[in-house]
Amino acid sequence: MSKKILLASDHAGFPMKSHLYHWLLKKGYEVKDLGTDGEESVDYPDFGHKLGAIIDESDEYIGLALCGSANGMNMSISKHSKTRSAVCWNTEIAYLARLHNNANVCVMPGRYVTQNQAEEIAEKFLGTEFEGGRHEKRVNKIPLK
């Protein structure tokens, strides 16, 4: 799994993104913070598209994103051709998103997970490899945009 992480959020996800940024650095990850930089209201697509565009250009990154519910950021990121973005609200979902779906972006609901839960979700997502096999055939049926 890549040690290069893209991290993005809107204003609702900013406090949790800030926490995860420092936590990831302590874990030894290279983190590229794509914003936002505060709790002033912003439009989540602006930050989701930044993340998606970078993944479209390079497979060396894996993404973590946050917004209030995770839905808006996930919808924006999913518009990009090389992203497989998954809404992850617990460790089991994060694990299966990587193991079975080969997700390369984990989007968390910043308003609905604790710092400890966000760390556990990120750790599970980043530490799980795609299983391939029967799942690879299914993932390959997801058309590129």
| CA separation for the pair 86, 64 (Å, rounded) | 10
Written as one letter, the residue type at 72 is G
Residue type, 49: H
Q: Which of 22, 80, 100, 135 is catalytic?
A: 100
Tell me, yes or no, if 19 is annotated catalytic: no
Residue whose entry in the numeric block shows the structure tokens 């617990």: 90
Cβ atoms within 10 Å, residue 38: 11
Sign for the pseudo-dihedral over CA of 71, 64, 19, 118: positive
Report, as residue numbers or ranges, the catalytic residues.
Answer: 100
